[in-house]
């Protein structure tokens, strides 16, 4: 169980979140949704150990995140930030290998190479293995970075807008893979999404954040309510039901 | 295991072998350049005699052996050592500061060394022999610059921009102070300062070569320990942090090692420009960003550039020795333009 208790998060002197409490269970996907500036990325960075909260605490299976234990904490986490910069001289296979940069020895054993290549195959990217990362499309690069996260064999997956540059098919590929791995490996998965329908389809729970406050949390059917979404996004929102009785969010301009 | 996975793995191994092959080819070119460097000079020595003397052949010409062992070998080996130090330092600094235009000199180290040397020359070495006072003061002020850059950087979590800005501020400060020293110096001392600033391998001795080689030999493996983390930094600081890499600690430790290598090298040979800037780019063209290969290749490229410049400095004007720092700059600038225009520099 990953737990945030009474977190206060600041950026400089600005308070992003105050007294934020949330927990994330193993084998579950939680989608963080909310308007821009709601504090989703800062929360994710705090959970990863890259942003020090100014109040409250974060625990994983009862063990608190501390300065001294930060490296060990981060070794258990696969974090995919929004930034997806490419470098000319790094190949796709090397980019996936770099997921384990903290533990790789000078000589690269076959097992490491095989694991990285297998991940690429899983996402249909194996034929690009020797290509420079810079020659890939934004969407392909995002999939490579997702594979890089998985190469870390994490217990917790923290993904910040992982499908923002992906076409519809690749969005489904990535989210299905996340669902499958979360179930199979009992991962704790937290994913920031702007596509509320994608969140409703793949997440077990949705946490709605606005102005640093948790406005709703629960199964998609409960968390995605039209009045709340209309209020926080500032547009008129209608929530319909699809054939599986899942919420289908439409904004009415 | 599927055939496609085996093929991808085999292709990666081939890439690694090709990179090793390129390292070998540059090492070979370097060996050739070393022999030419030893053979060239006011007295042109036959390369075969040079090789015989190097290999300890008892039948080797005695005059050749004396010129070689007491004069040319320390200079030629100093060119290799300083080239390695500047090449590796340049590659590391470009990665750490995420800046293709960075070099060890961006940290203000060369300017600090220049001021230290100028001060020692202007003050007459404070009673010490110039051979000790000048490199000593250059090293001292380079270390001071390094301490200030690291101190200011640490206040801001070793952010790349802070380190660059601190380095540039020091560069301007020490340049101004150095100009003041030149302004106040007598014409003779002013000339000595200019000569030091141009950079020259003439000052190489077995002792200072030993010190430079030892510092480089210790620093290089320490940097190589972080080769994967440095490669990850090429994907941006945010991603390196996302991978749980201790970026600030890495930057602190690596800048310290780079400063130590650069300070030692320039204390003995003066400020030799462009090696630390251009050699890493050349290496990157051949090898890519995998720092397991890039760091050694940058070192070899730096050594090859400085060794070749040393040869050229002796043959470019018959009967005259052009300071090697001038040769590296004159050759480095058009070469750098080519790199820029060929759009090979990472943005």
For each successive 10 residues of chain A (253 residues), what is the average pLDDT?
Answer: 94 89 96 94 95 94 90 94 81 95 91 95 93 90 93 96 90 93 96 95 96 94 94 93 88 78
Which residues in A lie closer than 8 A to residue B346 (C-beta atoms)?
Answer: 87-89
**For residue B323, what pLDDT is reported?**
84
In a domain, A108, yes or no: no
Residue A88, in any domain of the structure:
no
Q: Closest chain B residue to A96 measured between Cα atoms?
A: B232
Which residues in chain B touch residue A93, judged by CB atoms under 8 angstroms apart? 8, 12
Residue of chain B minimizing CA distance to A113 = B9
In a domain, A114, yes or no: no
Would residue A219 count as lying in a domain?
yes
In a domain, A237, yes or no: yes
| Residue B290 scores a pLDDT above 50 | yes
Provide mean pLDDT across the span B286-294.
93
DSSP string for chain A: -EEEEEEEEEETTEEEEEEEEEEE-TTEEEEEE-STTSSHHHHHHHHHTSS--SEEEEEETTEEP-STTHHHHHHTEEEE-S-----TT-BHHHHHHGGGTTT--SS--HHHHHHHHHHHHHTT-GGGTTSBGGGS-HHHHHHHHHHHHHHT--SEEEEESTTTT--HHHHHHHHHHHHHHHHHHT-EEEEE-S-HHHHHHH-SEEEEEETTEEEEEESHHHH--HHHHHHHHSSEEEEEE-TTS-EEEEEE-
- Across the range B124-142, mean pLDDT stands at 86
Q: Helices (H) and strands (E) in chain B — how many of each?
A: 15, 0
Q: Does A123 fall in a domain? A: no
Q: What is the pLDDT averaged over residues B54-83?
A: 91
**Domain residues for A50?**
2-83+154-252
More confident residue, B147 or B218: B218
Q: What is the pLDDT of residue B345?
A: 47
Tell me, yes or no, if A47 comes closer than 8 A to chain B by beta carbon: no
Question: How close, in Å, is residue A81 to chain B by CA atoms?
Answer: 7
Predicted local confidence at residue B21, as pLDDT: 97
Number of domains in chain A: 1
A74 interface with B at CB cutoff 8 Å: yes
> Across B74-83, B90-99, B198-207, which has the greatest mean pLDDT?
B74-83
| CA nearest to B241 within chain A | A50
Tell whether B228 is within 8 A of chain A (Cβ): yes
For B330, residues 6+ apart whose C-beta sits below 8 A from its C-beta are none
Report pLDDT for A24. 96
What's the confidence (pLDDT) of residue B334? 84
- Asked, for residue A121, whether it belongs to a domain, the answer is no
DSSP A113-135: HHHHHHHHHHTT-GGGTTSBGGG
pLDDT bucket at B101, cuts 50 / 70 / 90? confident
Per DSSP, what are the bridge partners of residue B224?
none
CATH number at residue A169: 3.40.50.300
Residue B339 has pLDDT above 80, yes or no: no
Residue B2 has pLDDT above 90, yes or no: no
Q: Identify all chain B residues contacting A85, using CB atoms and an 8 Å cutoff.
A: 235-236, 238-239
Could you tell me if residue A223 is inside a domain? Answer: yes
Query: CA angle B23-B106-B262, nearest 5°?
Result: 55
Q: Which of the two residues, B42 and A119, has the higher pLDDT score?
A: A119
* Dihedrals phi, psi of B224, to nearest 5 degrees: -65, -25
B342 close to A (CB below 8 A): no
pLDDT in tens, B228-272: 999 999 998 889 999 999 998 998 889 889 988 988 888 888 888
- For the cut 50, the answer to whether the pLDDT of residue B346 exceeds it is no
Backbone angles phi, psi at A50, to 5 degrees: -90, -10
The whole-chain average pLDDT of chain B stands at 89
- Provide the pLDDT for residue A253: 67
- ipTM of this complex prediction, to 2 decimal places: 0.89
- Statement: residue B347 has pLDDT above 50: no
Summarize pLDDT for B187-225 with one digit per residue, the tens. Answer: 998 888 888 888 888 889 999 999 999 999 999 999 999
- For residue A92, count other CB atoms closer than 10 A to its CB: 28
Residues A104 and A252: their CA atoms lie apart, in Å, by 51
Residue of A nearest to B286 (CA): A89
Provide the 3-class DSSP secondary structure of residue B286.
Answer: helix
Distance from CA of B42 to the nearest CA of A (A): 43
- Which pLDDT belongs to residue B335? 79
Distance from CA of B210 to the nearest CA of A (A): 28
All structural domains of chain B = 30-341 (1.10.3470.10)
């Amino acid at each position: 169980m990953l737990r945030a208790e009474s977190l206060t998060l600041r950026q400089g002197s600005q308070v992003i979140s105050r007294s934020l409490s949330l927990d994330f269970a193993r084998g579950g996907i939680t989608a963080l949704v909310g308007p821009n500036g709601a504090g989703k990325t800062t929360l994710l960075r705090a959970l990863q150990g890259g942003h020090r909260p100014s109040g409250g605490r974060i625990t994983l299976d009862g063990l608190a995140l501390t300065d001294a234990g930060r490296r060990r904490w981060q070794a258990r986490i696969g974090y995919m930030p929004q930034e997806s910069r490419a470098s000319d001289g790094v190949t796709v296979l090397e980019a996936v290998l770099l997921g384990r940069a903290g533990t790789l020895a000078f000589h690269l054993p076959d097992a490491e190479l095989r694991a990285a290549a297998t991940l690429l195959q899983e996402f249909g990217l194996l034929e690009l293995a020797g290509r420079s990362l810079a020659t890939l499309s934004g969407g392909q690069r995002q999939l490579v970075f997702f594979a890089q996260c998985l190469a870390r064999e994490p217990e917790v997956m923290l993904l910040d807008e992982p499908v923002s540059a992906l076409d519809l098919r690749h969005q489904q590929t990535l989210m299905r893979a996340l669902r499958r791995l979360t179930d199979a490996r009992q991962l704790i998965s937290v994913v920031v999404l702007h596509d509320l329908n994608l969140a409703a389809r793949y997440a077990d729970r949705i946490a709605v954040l606005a102005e640093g406050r948790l406005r709703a949390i629960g199964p998609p059917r409960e968390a995605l309510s039209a009045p709340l979404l209309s209020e926080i996004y500032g547009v008129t929102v209608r929530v319909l039901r699809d054939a599986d009785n899942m919420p289908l969010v439409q904004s009415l301009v | 295991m599927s055939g496609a996975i085996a093929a991808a793995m085999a292709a990666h191994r081939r890439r690694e072998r090709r990179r090793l092959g390129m390292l070998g080819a540059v090492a070979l070119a370097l060996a050739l350049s070393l022999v030419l460097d030893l053979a060239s000079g006011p007295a042109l020595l036959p390369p075969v005699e040079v090789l015989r003397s190097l290999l300890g052949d008892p039948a080797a010409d005695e005059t050749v052996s004396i010129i070689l062992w007491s004069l040319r070998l320390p200079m030629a080996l100093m060119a290799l050592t300083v080239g390695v130090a500047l090449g590796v330092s340049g590659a590391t600094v470009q990665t750490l500061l995420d800046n293709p235009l960075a070099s060890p000199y961006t940290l203000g180290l060369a300017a600090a060394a220049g001021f230290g040397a100028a001060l020692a020359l202007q003050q007459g070495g404070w009673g010490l022999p110039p051979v000790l006072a000048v490199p000593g003061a250059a090293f001292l002020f380079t270390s001071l610059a390094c301490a200030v850059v690291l101190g200011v950087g640490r206040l801001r979590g070793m952010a790349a921009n802070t380190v660059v800005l601190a380095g540039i501020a020091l560069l301007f400060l020490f340049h101004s102070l150095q100009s003041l020293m030149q302004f106040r110096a007598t014409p003779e001392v002013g000339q000595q300062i200019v000569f030091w600033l141009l950079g020259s391998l003439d000052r190489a001795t077995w002792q200072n070569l030993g010190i430079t080689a030892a510092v480089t030999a210790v620093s290089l493996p320490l940097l190589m320990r972080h080769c994967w983390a440095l490669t990850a930094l090429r994907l941006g600081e945010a991603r390196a942090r996302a991978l749980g890499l201790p970026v600030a600690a890495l930057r602190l430790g690596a800048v310290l090692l780079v400063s130590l290598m650069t300070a030692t090298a320039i204390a003995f040979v003066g400020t030799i420009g462009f090696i630390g800037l251009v050699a890493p780019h050349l290496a990157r063209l051949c090898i890519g960003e995998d720092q397991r290969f890039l760091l050694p290749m940058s070192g070899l490229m730096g050594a090859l550039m400085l060794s070749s410049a040393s040869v050229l400095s002796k043959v470019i004007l018959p009967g005259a020795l052009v300071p090697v720092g001038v040769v590296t700059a004159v050759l480095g600038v058009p070469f750098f333009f080519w790199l820029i225009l060929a759009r090979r520099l990472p943005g």
